[in-house]
């Protein structure tokens, strides 16, 4: 395979183990068409409009494909196809719907390498993560909700709970296929049909998923995929024949959708931003905590809504912990997402890189101290070094605003009460982490923290059986687990 010079992993620093490059083959992604239309009524169709968008490989800036900017008319067609399919799909016995979901789950497993490589190319995330985290979780979601399809009577929502109808689903770019699975699997299991709009920088795995729906023999119109930017998203969420809106994305857009839907009878779930506290007490096992901090903020380049972006460290262990953390950060490999040694891949877009750069500059301007390990970055593409800010106060923008990148803000505390106050001092409330050896302290803290998910002595662990969702400006409604069924049932 001809190696792409622009995406070569950086040369290892002195003192680091040197790894030979271990490139995954881009060819494993299968054929990427030069242009895509939508998937409506079980067919790949052209848009009614002529506007096309481009998706690029963020590690090389090369254009991967063009895809359609969905028009109001395209959304209309997709919603009509979903409405038409709803009658038969919702009337199927749950055990029959389950068969399709099991089939989709198995095909995802069979095609997982292809999907993992395609996701890494379109999103920039390291193959180690798409291969070992995203894809196994995507399949697990379909398996899990397939299991619920014939047991809805026993889910705690009364006998014979009814689906809502057509679900309009809008997802972000940070976990494209996983967010699709979080949306589509429970919707289909409960008997709804869907129109899903992927994010404009990462449409490729959703379009490949459309092929999988065909391969699984899913009845036409049960899943429809319409691509485009926020305009297409707004056309979908405001469509009068959509019964349920599920949105994952930023808080400002979530707020706009909530306003738009106020007074309508549409059911709405919102999974929005976060600014999670990862709290380390002086009795925590330092080495494990350091791994948890690294996983908390550098996993997926920090493009994680529940990222542990605020490290709250007990003052007495600050120096020891930060020394260990800096040493560990020095071993992180930034570079080619398709190299199996890579820890931190490419930032998803030029716009996101600009936002991370701007907020980091604000951190310095406001007086926080910036540190990043030396590391060579590839020439082309969008990259950002893993970065640490110390001397951060609660008033700093980098302590309040979601950076959505590999940037950690460090604050200190002296007592558990102070830790809780600082952790909850945010408009968000999606997740939190606690590192301590005392079980009683974990339980006390978990009760005080205003966060939908609280991890203890671990971070960023996901499981389809476990509900996920926010408090406050992180949104409402739960995805995952038995609770995730409720969002798609008329209860």
Residue of 325, 430, 453, 485 that binds ligand NAD (CB under 6 A): 430
Name residue, tokens 């606690």. Answer: 434
Residue of 85, 104, 115, 272 that binds ligand NAD (CB under 6 A): 272
Per rule CB under 6 A, is residue 356 in the interface with ligand NAD? no
**Contact in structure between 393 and 336 (CB atoms under 8 Å):** no
At its nearest, how many Å lie between ligand NAD and the CB of residue 272?
5
**Contact in structure between 300 and 124 (CB atoms under 8 Å):** no
At its nearest, how many Å lie between ligand NAD and the CB of residue 234?
4
* Binding-site string for ligand NAD from residue 436 to residue 475, where x marks contact by CB under 6 A and - marks none: ----------------------------------x---xx
The whole-angstrom separation of Cα 353 and Cα 126 is: 17
* Binding-site string for ligand NAD from residue 284 to residue 323, where x marks contact by CB under 6 A and - marks none: ---------------------x------------------
Name the strand (E) or helix (H) holding 408.
Answer: strand 407-413
8 is catalytic: no
Choice among 129, 200, 213, 305 that is catalytic? 305
3-state DSSP call for residue 197?
A: strand
Q: With respect to ligand NAD, which residue has the nearer C-beta, 22 or 256?
A: 256
At its nearest, how many Å lie between ligand NAD and the CB of residue 255?
10
Q: With respect to ligand NAD, which residue has the nearer C-beta, 5 or 54?
A: 54
Q: With respect to ligand NAD, which residue has the nearer C-beta, 191 or 484?
A: 484
Structure tokens at 407: 């940037």
When computed from its CA atoms, the radius of gyration of the chain, rounded to whole angstroms, is 22
Residue of 37, 163, 221, 249 that binds ligand NAD (CB under 6 A): 249
Per rule CB under 6 A, is residue 186 in the interface with ligand NAD? no
**Which residues have CB under 8 Å from 324's CB, separation 6+?**
286, 287, 290
Give DSSP secondary structure letters for 126-188.
-HHHIIIIIHHHHHHHHHHHHHHTT-GGGTTS-SSPPB-SEEEEE--SSSHHHHHHHHHHHHH
**φ and ψ at residue 387, rounded to 5 degrees:** -130, 145
The whole-angstrom separation of Cα 72 and Cα 74 is: 5
Choice among 200, 271, 401, 479 that is catalytic? 271
Q: With respect to ligand NAD, which residue has the nearer C-beta, 273 or 345?
A: 273
Name residue, tokens 């060819």. Answer: 27
Per rule CB under 6 A, is residue 402 in the interface with ligand NAD? yes
Per rule CB under 6 A, is residue 122 in the interface with ligand NAD? no
Query: CA angle 371-374-376, nearest 5°?
Result: 135
Per rule CB under 6 A, is residue 170 in the interface with ligand NAD? yes
Per rule CB under 6 A, is residue 233 in the interface with ligand NAD? yes
**Closest to 223 (Cα-Cα) out of 402, 41, 379, 485:** 41
375 is catalytic: no
Per rule CB under 6 A, is residue 229 in the interface with ligand NAD? yes
Structure tokens at 251: 């808080």
At its nearest, how many Å lie between ligand NAD and the CB of residue 171?
6
Burial level of 362, CB count in 10 A (0-12/13-18/19+)? middle
- 230-237 helix and 72-91 helix, angle to the nearest 10 degrees: 50
Stretch that binds ligand NAD, among 37-45, 62-70, 196-204, 388-396 (CB under 6 A): 196-204
Per rule CB under 6 A, is residue 353 in the interface with ligand NAD? no
Residue of 42, 70, 165, 172 that binds ligand NAD (CB under 6 A): 172
Per rule CB under 6 A, is residue 336 in the interface with ligand NAD? no
Active site residues: 271, 305
Name the residues that contact ligand NAD, by CB under 6 A: 170-174, 197, 199-200, 229-230, 233-234, 237, 248-250, 253, 256-257, 271-274, 305, 402, 404, 430, 470, 474-475
């Amino acid at each position: 395979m001809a190696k792409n010079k622009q995406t070569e992993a950086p040369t290892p620093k002195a003192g680091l183990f040197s790894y030979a490059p271990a490139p995954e083959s881009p060819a494993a992604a299968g054929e990427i068409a030069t242009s895509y239309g939508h998937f409506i009524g079980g067919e790949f169709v052209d848009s009614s409009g002529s506007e096309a968008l481009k998706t690029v490989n963020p590690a090389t800036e090369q254009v991967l494909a063009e895809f359609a900017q969905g028009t109001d008319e395209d959304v209309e067609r997709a919603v009509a196809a979903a409405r038409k399919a709803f009658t038969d799909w919702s009337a199927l016995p749950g055990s029959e719907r389950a068969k399709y979901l099991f089939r989709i789950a198995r095909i995802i497993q069979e095609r997982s390498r292809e999907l993992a490589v395609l996701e890494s190319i379109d999103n920039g995330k390291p193959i180690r993560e798409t291969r070992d985290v995203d894809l196994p979780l995507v399949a697990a979601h379909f398996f899990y909700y397939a299991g619920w399809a014939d047991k809805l009577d026993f889910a705690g929502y009364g006998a014979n709970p009814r689906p809502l109808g057509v679900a309009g689903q809008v997802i972000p770019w940070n976990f494209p296929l996983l967010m699709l699975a979080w949306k589509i699997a429970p919707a289909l299991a409960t008997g709804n049909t869907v129109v899903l709009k992927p994010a404009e920088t990462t449409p490729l795995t959703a379009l490949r998923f459309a092929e999988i729906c065909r391969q699984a023999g899913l009845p036409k119109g049960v899943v429809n995929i319409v691509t485009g930017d926020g305009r297409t998203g707004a056309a979908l969420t405001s469509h009068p024949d959509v019964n349920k809106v599920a949105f994952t994305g930023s808080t400002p857009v979530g707020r706009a959708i909530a306003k738009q839907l106020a007074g309508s009878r549409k059911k709405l779930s919102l999974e929005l931003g976060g600014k999670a506290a990862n709290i380390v007490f002086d009795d925590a096992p330092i080495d494990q905590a350091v791994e948890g901090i690294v996983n908390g903020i550098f996993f997926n380049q920090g493009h994680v809504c529940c990222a542990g972006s605020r490290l709250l460290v007990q003052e007495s262990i600050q120096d020891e912990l930060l020394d260990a953390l800096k040493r560990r950060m020095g071993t992180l490999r930034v570079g080619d997402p398709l190299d199996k040694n890579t820890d931190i891949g490419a930032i998803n877009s030029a716009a996101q890189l600009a936002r991370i750069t701007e907020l980091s500059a604000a951190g310095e301007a406001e007086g926080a101290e910036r540190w990043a390990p030396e590391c060579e970055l590839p020439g082309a593409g969008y990259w950002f070094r893993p970065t640490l800010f110390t001397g951060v106060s609660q008033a700093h923008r980098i302590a309040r605003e979601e950076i959505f990148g590999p940037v950690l803000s460090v604050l200190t505390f002296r007592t558990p009460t102070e830790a809780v106050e600082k952790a909850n001092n945010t408009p968000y409330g999606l997740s939190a982490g606690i590192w301590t050896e005392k079980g009683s302290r974990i339980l006390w803290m978990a009760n005080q923290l205003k966060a939908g998910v609280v991890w203890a002595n671990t971070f960023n662990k996901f499981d389809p059986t476990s509900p996920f969702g926010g408090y406050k400006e992180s949104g409402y409604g739960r995805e995952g687990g038995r609770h995730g069924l409720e969002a798609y049932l008329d209860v």
